[in-house]
Structure 1
Amino acid sequence: MVSSPQQEAKSIATGMLRRVHHIALNVRDMAASRHFYGNVLGLRELTGAEVPETLKELFEKGEAANFETPDGTIVDLFWKPNLLPPDPDPSKCFTRAGHLAFDINPDLFDHAVEVLRQNEIAIDHGPVSRPTGRGIYFYDPDGFLVEIRCDPKG
């Protein structure tokens, strides 16, 4: 008996998914979030023809912004002014996403920590050192947990 492709396709084969295409975040304060992701974290904001066609209308109304990481992953911000966390303490909020992590050169890690401190970014915990490297966990303007991490030196 010959099985159909639908019957054989029980999983996506290893290697078929190539990379994270984009991450979409809902934000209450678009200006604060644009400043955080663009100026504090240094991600490049997409403008003009770089903005995806499907988001142009929202972009023009100031309800969406798009940032690109150095590896090409897009971080989409969507303005939701009435967005309220389940708890005002971001460490107690339930979300299906744990955190967003950015990799950094180990030689630049301490500088990144200092930038967070100078910008008075709320630190959840860290810096921490592990066999897998160093990390610091902090909150974006909407209480979403973000990490900057690096591999061990050497």
Structure 2
Amino acid sequence: MTSPWLDEEQQRTWRTWLAVSELLPRALDAQLQRDAGLTHAAYIVLAMLSEAPGRSRRMSELARMANQSQSRLSHTVARLEERGWARREKAAEDGRGNVAVLTDAGWEVVRSAAPGHVAAVREGLFAALSPEQAAALQDALAAVLDRLDPDHSERAGRG
């Protein structure tokens, strides 16, 4: 029978993961707020739209890609609409769903914010790792992700 508790190494790993999963997003959010005046959550939405054909995605797919609930995404897109960086339209193919569309102004925001964001990711995550550690981290995170999302339904377009 397996112990109900984590062993010492598992506990250290778990607590380290908790700290990193709190501190890294906070650092990325602070950098984006300071340099571009937007939240990390908003930047991810803009980035996912910028990578899409026609700079548009169905709201349901965008929610999965941005790791946001449909409700939170709706609020995020509403704030982007207020700034003129995105708009919502009915889906052309079936008219039932909505798509979010990146505007030209939103595209410019992504283009200007991306270099600073990439530098912050590189500094906050990869600068502390050797190439071998980065590869091992990728392998470990992929294994955890495959366990959490075996059918890839929660990572549309990313898996």
Q: TM-score range by the shorter chain?
A: under 0.3
Higher fraction of helix: 2
TM-score normalised per structure 2: 0.25
TM-score normalised per structure 1: 0.25
Higher fraction of strand: 1
